[in-house]
Amino acid sequence: MAPLKRRVVLVPYPFQGHLTPMLQLAALLHRRGFSITVAHTRFNSPTTSNYPQFAFAALSDGLEGRDMSFYNALNVISEMNANCQASFREHLLHVLEEEGEELVCVIYDNIMKFVDVVADSLNLPTIVLRTTAAAFMHSHLALFDLAAHKRIPLPECELELPVPNLHPLRYNDLPLHPTREIPESVQEFLESYMNIRSSAAVIWNTVEALDEWPLQQLQRQWPVPFFTIGPLHKMAPPLPTSLIEEDTMCLSWLDKRAPGSVIYVSLGSMAIIDEDELCEMARGLARSEQPFLWVVRTSLLNGSDAIASLPGDFGDVVRGRGLVVEWAPQRKVLEHPAVGGFFTHCGWNSTLESLCEGVPMICRPCFADQLVNARYLTHVWGVGVELGSVVEKGVEEAVRMLMKSDCGREMRERAAGMKLEIERCMGRGGSSSESLDHLLEFVDSL
Ligand code: UDX
C-alpha cells in the first residue's frame, strides 16, 4: 500500500507582512515532504498559479466592499473570524475524508482565531506561527501591567523612561502609546492575540541570537514547545510572495550605481503617512545628494495618490540620481551590491531582510511592532540610526550620517557581522536549522 500523504493546512492572516512568512513556511515544509494546503481569505488571496506545488482552499470571508484600511483592522479581524469559520470547517472535513492522506496539523496566524476553534472541535492539533519578533510579543506584558495597575494614561514626561525589566524599551517604544487610554476593544484584541489557546506549539520567524531573552520570558507564559526557525525567507526555497506587482526595472537601474551608494526607502505595505511628511521626505532625499530608490506605494497617503502628491519640481531636482517606484522586488533590492542603506518603517520582514544582507538602517517606525524593532536596531544591535525628525533636515542628516559618516561605516561593519551570525544560525548545527529539525520531529509525533 502506498504510504499516506502527510498534509499540513496553513492559514495566513491576509496582509503582506503576515502572508509572506506563512507561504515561506509552506514552501519549507513542502521541501521536507509534506503536502500543503493554504486556506486563505478571498481578500488578498495569494496568486495561486505561482504555487503549483500547493493546494488552496478559498474561505468565505464576507469582506467584499469593507474598509480594509489599517484604521478598520479590528472590525475586519472580528468579521473575518466570524465569517470564515463555516467554510474552514467544511474544508477540513473534506480533507479528512480524502483517501490516502493524513491531516497532520493546522498551522495558523494567531489573529485567525476561528482556526483553533474549528480544529479543536475536530480534534486536530494546531500550531501558531508568529510572524513578529518575540521582543514585540513580550512588550505587551508591560502594557497589560500598566493597565492592571491603572497607570494608563501615563504622563507624557514618563515616556522616555525605561520600562522596568524590559531593556532596551522605554514607555515610548511600547506597541501602543500608554499616554492614551486603551479602548476596551483594543485591550480585548491584545489579550486574545497573546493567548495561544489550545495550540500545541509556536513557530517563530525569528533567530534565537536576536531574540533570546524575550523568547525565554515568553516560554514561561506559554509552556509549549517553541521552534525558532527564522529568517524564513532564507530558510525556505525562494518563492514569489508579493501581492502587488513588482517593478523589476529598478534592478537594472541599481546595476548602474556604485557599490554601497544607494539608499533604499520603503515603509512596507501598510503604513500611512501624511502629505507633509511625504514632501519632507522628498526634499530631504533631494538635499542629501545621495542616490536613492524610493517605494512610494499608491496607498501610502490616506485617500490621495501618493506619487501625484510629490512636490512639483521633485522629478527635475533628483533626475538621474533618484528613482521612485510603486512597489519593488525588495529582497532582491536589499541583496543588490549598490544598496548601502535602508530607510525603513522597521516591519519585522523588512528588518530581517535587511539584517540578512548586512544593510544598516534609518528607522522611521510607524506603529505596533515597528517601534520595538526600531529600538532593538538602534540600541541593541547598533545597526540602525533613529530618524530624529521627519522634517526635510532630519531626513537629509540621517541619510548623510548613514551613507557618508564614520558612524555609518561602523554600523555597516556591525551589520556585516550580524549577517554572518544569522548565517551561522541557519547553517548546520545552528539554532534555526536545529530548531527546524526539532519541529519536523514534533510534527511527526502529533
Ligand atoms: C506588517 C506590519 O506593518 C509589520 O510591522 C509587521 O512586522 C508585519 O506585518 P508590513 O508593514 O508590510 O507588515 O512590513 P514588513 O513586515 O516589513 O513586510 C513587508 C514585506 O513586503 C517585506 O517582505 C518586503 O520585502 C515586501 N515589500 C515591501 C516588497 O516586496 N516590495 C516593496 O516595495 C516593499
Report the residue among 350, 364, 371, 372 best suited for mutation to probe ligand 1: largest number of ligand atoms under 8 A from its CB: 350
Helix H, strand E, coil C: the string for 182-231 is CCHHHHHHHHHHCCCCCCCEEEECCCHHHHHHHHHHHHHHCCCCEEECCC
Q: Where in the chain is the domain with CATH 3.40.50.2000?
A: 5-241+429-445, 249-424
Whole-angstrom CA distances from 250 to 92, 279, 332, 343 are 43, 22, 10, 17
The CB of 373 under 6 Å from ligand 1? The reply is no
pLDDT along the chain (446 residues), means of 10: 88 98 98 97 97 98 90 94 98 94 97 97 98 97 92 95 95 94 93 92 98 96 96 97 97 98 97 95 97 96 91 93 97 98 98 98 97 98 92 95 98 98 98 98 94
The cell numbers describing 117, all together, are 476553534
Cell numbers 466570524 label which residue? 82
CATH of domain 5-241+429-445: 3.40.50.2000
State the pLDDT at residue 179.
94
State the pLDDT at residue 403.
98
State the pLDDT at residue 389.
83
The CB of 109 under 6 Å from ligand 1? The reply is no
Tell me the whole-structure pTM to 2 decimals: 0.97
How many Å lie between the centroid of ligand 1 and the Cα of residue 183? Answer: 27
Q: What are 9's strand-pairing partners? A: 37, 106
The CB of 135 under 6 Å from ligand 1? The reply is no
Q: At what angle do helices 114-121 and 73-97 cross, to 10 degrees?
A: 30
Cis peptide before 360 (omega within 30 of 0): no
Contact 129, 226 (CB under 8 A): no
State the pLDDT at residue 129.
98
The CB of 431 under 6 Å from ligand 1? The reply is no
Distance CA 422, CA 205 (A): 13
The CB of 130 under 6 Å from ligand 1? The reply is no
Domain 249-424 has CATH 3.40.50.2000: yes
State the pLDDT at residue 388.
79
The CB of 369 under 6 Å from ligand 1? The reply is yes
The CB of 44 under 6 Å from ligand 1? The reply is no
